[in-house]
Amino acid sequence: MSTPTTPDPSTRLSFWHLLGLHSFAVVQPILEQLAKNLRYLQQQNFSAVSILLCLALHLTVVPATCWMLITVLRRVRCQKASEALFDFAIFSYCLLMGLIAARWISAAGDLLTSGVPDFLIALAIVPIAVAAVWLHHRSQLFRQLIAMTLVGVLVFPVSFFLSPAVREVVFDWHPSASNAASSNIAKTPVVMIIFDGLTAGSLLDEADQVDAVRFPAFGRLASMSTFYRNTTTVHPRTDHAVPAMLASVYPEGDLAPVEANYPNNLLRLIYETHQFDMTVFEPVTELAPIALQQFKSHRSVLAETWDLFDTTSCVFLQISLPREVSTHMTRLPRAWFGLLPNSPTVNRLLKGKISYPWDNLRTEQVRHFLSTIQSGEKPTFHFLHIALPHYPWSLLPDGRTYAPNASIATLVPGLQHETISSDPWFAAQLWQRNLLQIQMADQSLGQILDRLEEEGLLDDALMVVTADHGMSFLPGEGLREVSGNTLADIVSVPLFIKTPGQKQAEVNDRNVETIDIAPSIAEALRLPVPSEWEGHPVTSPDRKPRKRIVGLTNTIIEPDFPQRRQHTRRLIETFGTGSKDDRLGRLNIVPELVGRVVDTATLPDSEYSAALLLPEPGAQANRPVTDATTNDTAYVPCEIEGFLLANSNELPLKEPVIVAVCVDGTIQATTRTSKDPNDKNAFSALIPWEELTATTSVILIEARREGEQWEFRRIPATPASETPEN
């Protein structure tokens, strides 16, 4: 019996094998991620040349460099070293393909949640990659299969650029549009506002009417519009909910929120009339026509190419390495998630597409939007999508901030990966922050109504105010995970439509979905409605028999679903209403202690100390809403946030510690440490901001109930700036 012979290394070592494997292991995953996130390419306005150069680099740099080293080693007669390097390259590419497949399997099966780490799965891939190297040595058939991977060098880029959505974003190509211009179009100003994360029930009182005391601007709008009280979103995520609303379609798959994927959306329809001056504030999605884009890149082609190459390389590492490793080794830039830096010139723009960072500068965005509302020769179309009351929860009702550096990535006690703490007290505190930002949204709406009235546009305007989705603050539930318990919180959104000349209030409980909004606007403006739109105008005699929510699973519910009013009932129980027992600004775990005078100088020290995560309150308190020199939102340090440490550095979780906040000798807020072990002894409290001055003295004290009496001990606190880093 003859034994198989090892092939001549010169016939086994091939540059084409490396190039083909590289296209499958590296290039294809990168192109797939770019195709899913076309918003990044569009927002960053990369030139086609830069994208092509970046692709060329990804295709050639690594395999060419590796082959050059192999060639040099062979020429200096280091044959074994060259073979070892080639084998290592084959092993690495096979391992990468296996790791990417394993990550997909892990995500699909939710194995990480089940206790199976990615690292363990990665270890199982190693023998497979070793076997591939062995087969490459021994099997001619296997080498032929590897050689066939060379088709990926051509197929993957071609299929990427043949995608209509990619061609539109990269090459500014789109099908010839039908001219919607017509003398029949209503020449009326339009204002459309989408508040992000606003549950309809949060605006209501015990009679299921708008709580005009707590939210006076929404009450004012309700008095001159039709309030569609039974409106629901079709998706709990912004990047699907907003395109669904503007394109009047139920979301499908994982389409990037760009115009190329939703070509017949409302913004395109308005643009093609050529009858409106358009101003579009669109921080998350990219559905406005590219011609309105105001963010222009002034970087060189080389700078753009390197920026794109660097970002996509980080993306590749994130999707290929085990999550236990990738989160520490690489950090994706904010731009990849659609979080733009603030442009120093953006606040001077009055028309077109205006892009702000999504998760900050919200007060500044409102001020800018107000400045763009001006009467002119043409009717105006004003569109504002703003992250209010969506987290980061950092704004007071008047627009000032108590967490100036907060962003979407900021960790908040009581919220772990969009799951609410199991501790009801911490869940209530998160809800309080959300409601304060609804009051900020209310103030913004009031300013917009005032501005429209000043410009003589309010009476004649078509005004639509809604939200993309709601949020749930039930203990232990997902912030945006639709379930039987959270249904009313997440899917119910407000919808106010004020038609031109309307002055009478109306409440309508017909079954409405957010995909019905675009057809309603089109009908009011007498615009042609695209045939693929799935919604119906709110005035249509057709009544939908069911509601549909698309997300991780499709959900069909009855129009008057039983949970519909639960959100408002829980809100009133926790915070009261604006006119009755209002506890929104003064939420306390021990209300009877608030207002008690305490001589803090004579108190003994507690056995606990506090490590603060924010600067101490008091400094710079009660500044005006904006700083005249910097135009920045003013900082009001009214939040206390941190965690307690015992002498042993471990605090028993069975006995939460009550923490009272003493302001100038008087207790103004009470809170306690969390019962949820995930919060690790955290505590937080909001001090009534009107109680703070620039010379305020804030002391933390531990409150213990001894029979009918309360005993107090002073808690030494380490300010955030002095807290040692871990």
More confident call, 645 vs 619: 645
> Which whole number is the average pLDDT over 468-495?
94
- pLDDT of 333: 82
Per-residue DSSP letter, 139: -
CATH at residue 526: 3.40.720.10
- pLDDT of 627: 41
Does a structural domain hold residue 402? Answer: yes
Does a structural domain hold residue 1? Answer: no
- pLDDT of 9: 55
**How would residue 188 be classed by pLDDT, with cut points 50, 70 and 90?**
very high
- pLDDT of 42: 79
Q: Are residues 220 and 103 in the same domain?
A: no
More confident call, 725 vs 569: 569
Q: Work out the number of other CB atoms within 10 angstroms of the CB of residue 115.
A: 7
Q: Are residues 81 and 198 in the same domain?
A: no
- pLDDT of 411: 82
Residue ending a domain, among 118, 142, 171, is: 171
Does a structural domain hold residue 581? Answer: no
Q: Is 205 within 8 Å of 395 (Cβ atoms)?
A: no
Tell me the pLDDT tens digit for each residue of 148-164: 999 999 999 999 998 88
Count of alpha carbons within 13 Å of 320, Cβ hemisphere only?
22
Q: Are residues 36 and 165 in the same domain?
A: yes
- pLDDT of 622: 42
Distance, in Å, from the CA atom of 274 to the CA atom of 530, rounded to the nearest integer, reads: 17
Distance, in Å, from the CA atom of 85 to the CA atom of 70, rounded to the nearest integer, reads: 7
**How would residue 345 be classed by pLDDT, with cut points 50, 70 and 90?**
low
- pLDDT of 106: 77
Tell me the pLDDT tens digit for each residue of 545-568: 999 999 877 889 999 888 889 999
| Range(s) of the domain holding residue 396 | 190-295+346-540
Does a structural domain hold residue 68? Answer: yes
Of the candidates 333, 463, 295, 467, the residue with the CA atom closest to the CA atom of residue 387: 467
Distance, in Å, from the CA atom of 155 to the CA atom of 143, rounded to the nearest integer, reads: 20
Q: Are residues 131 and 217 in the same domain?
A: no
- pLDDT of 571: 96
pLDDT at 178 over 60: no
Does a structural domain hold residue 679? Answer: yes
- pLDDT of 297: 59
Tell me the pLDDT tens digit for each residue of 7-22: 555 556 788 999 999 9
Q: Are residues 373 and 445 in the same domain?
A: yes
Tell me the pLDDT tens digit for each residue of 27-65: 999 999 998 888 888 778 788 899 999 999 999 999 999
Tell me the pLDDT tens digit for each residue of 104-122: 877 777 676 667 777 787 7
Residue ending a domain, among 171, 201, 231, is: 171
More confident call, 411 vs 295: 411
Q: Are residues 387 and 252 in the same domain?
A: yes
Tell me the pLDDT tens digit for each residue of 570-612: 999 999 999 988 999 889 999 999 999 999 889 999 989 888 8
Please state the domain count of the chain. 3
Q: Are residues 156 and 219 in the same domain?
A: no
pLDDT at 284 over 60: yes
Helices (H), 149-261: 152-162, 164-171, 216-222, 238-247
- pLDDT of 63: 92
More confident call, 124 vs 520: 520
Q: Work out the number of other CB atoms within 10 angstroms of the CB of residue 722.
A: 10
**How would residue 359 be classed by pLDDT, with cut points 50, 70 and 90?**
confident
Distance, in Å, from the CA atom of 683 to the CA atom of 613, rounded to the nearest integer, reads: 10
Q: Are residues 520 and 615 in the same domain?
A: no
Q: Are residues 123 and 215 in the same domain?
A: no
Q: Are residues 166 and 197 in the same domain?
A: no
Tell me the pLDDT tens digit for each residue of 433-478: 999 999 999 999 999 999 999 999 999 999 999 999 999 999 999 9
Residue ending a domain, among 138, 171, 204, is: 171
- Mean pLDDT, the chain, as a whole number? 87
- pLDDT of 722: 44
Q: Are residues 198 and 155 in the same domain?
A: no
Helices (H), 228-282: 238-247, 266-271
